[in-house]
Amino acid sequence: MIMNQKQIFLSNLKSHLGDRSMFTLKQVYLVSEGPLSFHYPFNNHIRDKIRELLQVIRDEGHILFIKKGFYEWSAS
């Protein structure tokens, strides 16, 4: 199965930060920049894409925005 960018991102987040109730944007950058850069080597705007993907998975109900730079996993 080929995973799309959102699936790679969410899978990576769950494996690295899934045991935390709250996590920061800085932590997301630390665990996500490498894998996304590997899978998409010509994307020169990885941090922009990470913020976009955070908004997408927030809108889908996977995470909640707490305050600037802070997120937590949704209970659903």
Q: What is the pLDDT of residue 67?
A: 96
Range of 63's domain?
Answer: 5-73
Q: What is the pLDDT of residue 47?
A: 96
The CATH number of whichever domain residue 50 belongs to comes to: 1.10.10.10
Looking at the structure of the chain, the number of domains it has is: 1
- In angstroms, the Cα distances linking 8 to 14, 34, 54, 67, 68 are 10, 12, 12, 25, 24
pLDDT, one tens digit per residue, over 13-71 is 999 999 998 999 999 999 999 999 998 889 999 999 999 999 999 999 999 999 999 99
